[in-house]
Structure 1
Amino acid sequence: MTIAHNDGNVHKSAYGLRRWPLPNDIDNPAYVPEEDSPQLPIEGISDTGLNTTFFEEVRNSYTQDKNCRILCQLLNKDCKDNSLIHALDEVWKKPYD
């Protein structure tokens, strides 16, 4: 492999921006092998393989939890309802204070 460079203008020294980039192959001394299969982080659950019973269980768990029911009612209202906010548990009230 031959590395060719151009002299710099000021000090007659080569600098990185004047060189042609080297290919990332085995002949390159700075060769970095690429991964065969890059690992991707899981960002969410795909719903293509989930059964409808899963969604029913999630829906039922929301309706059985008192705070979730109250939050759904608050989100459906156009205005702030203090009576619903006071019905929430203390931890759930903090964003509304």
Structure 2
Amino acid sequence: MPELELAHKISVHSSTGQTPAMLEKGWNPRIPADTLRKDLIEIHPTASSFKMILYKKLKDSYVGPFVIVALHGTNSVQVEVSGELENKHPTFSVSLIKPYHPAYKELFPSRNPTPLTAPPVEQNEEKKINQVIKGRRLRAKNQREYLVRYRNPVHEDEWLAESEIPDSDKGLRRFRHE
């Protein structure tokens, strides 16, 4: 019944040209769908679908713009994703989105309207070990492995046998004395 009353109060009547809520209270109540315009929006990158391997300080505060396709209740929206983001999940919480405002040339003449992208990271760069993090003993093979971290952030930490670590004397000596 409350939904029916709300629908009646926010619809414009032909005799007065205004809504009953406006005549009675002086303002129109906003419903959740009104707060989200179907314009372009940006999504906060902490949404798990948009976590990228970039330095935190260089990340954009929001990713986008995207077009809202559908509302799922009052707390989530479905957006239209395309291009390299097509394999990401298109539904996000309302708390992670904000309206998109393009950069206006007349207001900000020095602002460059093209988005800046991070420079490509060399994938075939040689893996140089930054530090040895942990050690473990494999009982089946009766040998030790060490978890190493590389200097290039593209390469993930990995377990290596002592024989696979270049210049292992110096790196392992530093690890054992920490």
TM above 0.5:
no
Q: State the TM bucket, normalised to the shorter chain.
A: under 0.3
| Structure whose residues are more often helix by fraction | 1
TM-score by length of 1: 0.27
TM-score by length of 2: 0.18
| Structure whose residues are more often strand by fraction | 2
